[in-house]
Amino acid sequence: MNLELRHLKVVCAIAETGSVTKAASQLGLAQPALTAQLQRIERTLGGPLFDRDRRGARPTALGELVLSRARVLLPAMKGLQDEAARLAASGTSRMSRYRIGAIGGPVFAHLLHRLSAAQPESAISTYASYSVDELATMALNGKLDFVQVGVCGDALPSADFGLVWDTIAVDAVCVLMTEDHPQAKGTEVDLAELATEQWAAAPGDGCFETCFAASCARAGFTPRRVLETDVRACIDMVELGVAIGLCQPTFRPPAGLTTRPLKGAPLRWRLILGWHPESPAARYAPKVTELARDAYHDVIARNEGYVTWTRDHPTLGGQHLAAA
């Protein structure tokens, strides 16, 4: 006889009730039939699973081993059945599980919020990394369904990953500074006016540092070293006057700090969503992309100064994408 899940349910019922008679009643079986079934299970496993006397049935060492496995397998099988049923019932409009990787940021948080609201029955797991290449590799290997990342200007991650990339928005890179900084008085900042500043930015594996140096060269100066560190340390350095920061307009500065776009948008940041075209998730990509764009507009609406500024820059801020 091959051991089946129904046999594990029998063993669990006897252990939970402490009696073959009570277990038979719970399972809707006759007591002799359950006893005979238990004996067949014990022969298959090679020994008694319970010590039975007038006080009831208590698991043997072998019985404890079987119970420990059964208490893992039975809930796992129930979870599989429930998940499969939800997926079958949902048709083609949603997945039962979304595995999303991202470099982070408020747009990612709002995407998760919108996805959870639209599909509350779907499980969502996340993975964070500063490396676009790492996230793309995980999507290529089937470990992530979608990745939301940012890249410099017109760049896209390497085609070697074989992923499809859809643009969520293209923004001007902004400067993070104290509200009393001399260059914070206007609606935008001329990069040439910041030639003597120290800079701070979060790390990444793209071409941003090279593009920044090239933009500074076009503005007539060589930038002082960019200090790469985490976002919290960048904020602290800006607050202390050690440096000014480079950030996206979706970033919401703390009290005392403000952001301004660079005049002429010499540096741009492209927010993109990627997935593997042959993955099961590919069929849901249009909906997730739509949610990501909605999430972007949720976030950028908080930066009224930037939204006003983009009216004179119609290719920035996701406007032309929304129109399309």
Q: What is the pLDDT of residue 324?
A: 43
- 5-90 domain in CATH 3.40.50.300? no
Quote the pLDDT of residue 287: 94
According to the model, what pLDDT value does residue 224 have? 82
Phi, psi of 103 (to 5 degrees): -75, -20
List, for residues 65-112, the tens digit of each pLDDT value. 999 999 999 999 888 887 776 656 555 456 889 999 998 889 999 999
CA distance 165 to 155: 11
The 10s digit of each residue's pLDDT in 239-261 is 999 999 999 999 999 999 999 99
pLDDT of residue 60: 94
How far apart CA 172 and CA 262 sit, in angstroms, is 7
Domain ranges of the chain: 5-90, 97-324
The residues of the chain scoring below 50 in pLDDT are 92, 323-324
What CATH number has the domain spanning 97-324?
3.40.190.290
pLDDT at 94: 65
pTM: 0.68
- Measured over the CA atoms of residue 55, residue 57, residue 61 and residue 67, the dihedral's sign is negative
Instruction: Please give the span between the terminal C-alpha atoms of the chain, in angstroms, as a whole number.
Output: 63
Predicted pLDDT at 205: 66
Sheet with 268-275: strands ordered across = 123-128, 97-102, 146-152, 268-275, 164-172
Residues linked to residue 175 through DSSP beta bridges, in sequence order: 246, 260
Residue 268, pLDDT score: 93
